[in-house]
Amino acid sequence: MLKTLKVVLAGAFLLALIAVLFYGWAWSEARHAQGCDRFVIDSYELRTGVNIPELTSWNCHRDQSGRRISVYTLDTDLEDYIRKAGFLRTSQALDQLLFSFDLLEPDEQVWSNDLYTVSGLSGNGEPWRMVLDRVHARLWVEIQFATV
C-alpha cells in the first residue's frame, strides 16, 4: 500500500512538473512571438491586455519592417465585447486607423461605418491598435514591433 502511494505521488509530481514546464514554455513563446506562425492570438492578448473572443475565421500578415496585423471574424456578443474591452466609437475610416492597412488582402479591407477602436502601448513600448466593425463582426488587431 505504501509503495503504491509513493508511485502515485511520484507520478502526480512528474505530471505537475511537466505541466508547469509546458505552460511556462508556452507563455514565454506567446510573449515573444512576433510572426504569424504560432501563438498569434496569445501574443496579442499578452501585449494588449485585451481578450480576443471566440472567432470563426482569421488571417495574419507580417512584413519586414515589424508590422503585424491579423483579421478575425468574431462569434461573440459584440455589445458586451465592446464594453469589456474598452472600445470607443470612431468616425475615422479603417484605412486611416490602421498603420498596417496596406498589408491586408482586398477582401479584408471591407468595413462599415460602425467602427470602434482601442489602442495603446505594450509593456515593451510597441504601439498596438484594435478596430472592430460591429456590422460585419470583424476585428483587426495590429502591432508594430521594434525593427531589428
**pLDDT tens digits for range 83-125:** 999 999 999 999 999 999 999 999 999 999 999 999 999 888 8
5/80: higher pLDDT: 80
Handedness of CA 92, 98, 99, 102 (dihedral sign): negative
Strand partners, 129: 119, 142
Confidence of residue 43 (pLDDT cuts 50, 70, 90): confident
pLDDT the model gives residue 13: 64
Distances (CA, A) of 98 to 8, 14, 22, 109, 119: 54, 47, 35, 11, 10
- Please choose, from the candidates 72, 44, 60, the residue with its C-alpha nearest in 3D space to the C-alpha of residue 129: 44
To the question of pTM greater than 0.85 for the whole model, the response is no
Rounded Cα gap, residues 124 and 135, in angstroms: 33
What is the number of other CB atoms lying within 10 angstroms of the CB of residue 137? 16
